[in-house]
Amino acid sequence: MDTTTQLITIAAVLLGSLTTYGTNQLVEWSKRRETRRVRWDEAKLDAYAEYIGQVRAVIHANVLLYEVSAGMRTMPRSEHDLSMDLTEAGVAQAIAFERVMLLAEDDVVDAAHAVQEATAAIGWQARGVVEGTLEDWRRLNAAAFAAINQFHQRARADLGVSGRFEGDQHSARGLLLPGSRVEE
């Protein structure tokens, strides 16, 4: 073989090696990026689920306190104990909310703020800070569940989950409050 052929062969081997190395680096970078994305999606999903779980716990604590204080339900626990349960649930909700704030995109954060505001309004009436009728109470709860549904929709979009559940059909099923007890 002459020198030119040998140089061309060496250049081809070097080019092939560099191309293989570059391709492998891109594949590894892509794998790391995908692993990081999945890890963040899992963290977001956990944060979103934890937050909604805490929101539901706060709503439940609000309902118990409201029904006991309004005389709609009797329980072996005092209003003070129920109020303390509500306070503890509120703290857990606030911590979960902060986690959402750290991980979520702007649309999800905005929806979470709306949920926070809606559940706070329920709490104010449950604690007696704000006066209101049973119908006011029902409107506050309906607004909270609408905010939760909006949060779900925004969180699903953030996580890349396809499908929608917005609309009247889903919202009509979202609020299960007992009817008024009227003695006849």
Element (H, E) at 134: helix 134-159
Residue 30 has φ and ψ, to the nearest 5°, of -65, -40
Reading the block at residue 82, the tokens are 């129920």
| Mean pLDDT value across residues 117-132 | 94
118 contacts 139 by C-beta, under 8 angstroms? no
Average confidence score pLDDT of the chain: 86
Residue-wise pLDDT for 95-105, tens only, equals 999 999 999 99
Q: Is the pLDDT of residue 176 over 60?
A: no
pTM of the model: 0.74
Residue 27 has φ and ψ, to the nearest 5°, of -65, -45
87 contacts 123 by C-beta, under 8 angstroms? no
| Mean pLDDT value across residues 155-181 | 66
Identify the residue with better confidence: 89 or 70: 89
3-state helix vs strand vs coil in the chain, percent to 5:
80, 0, 20
Q: How far is 88 from 141, CA to CA, in rounded Å? A: 20
How far from each other are the two terminal CA atoms of the chain, in whole angstroms? 111
Q: Is the pLDDT of residue 73 over 60?
A: yes
Q: How far is 159 from 68, CA to CA, in rounded Å? A: 39
Q: Which range (17-21, 135-139, 175-179) has the least confidence?
A: 175-179
Domains with residue ranges and CATH for the chain: 39-173 (1.20.1420)
Residue-wise pLDDT for 29-71, tens only, equals 876 776 666 667 888 999 999 999 999 999 999 999 999 998 8
- Percentage of the chain lying above the pLDDT 70 cut: 84
| Mean pLDDT value across residues 166-170 | 56
Reading the block at residue 13, the tokens are 């081997």
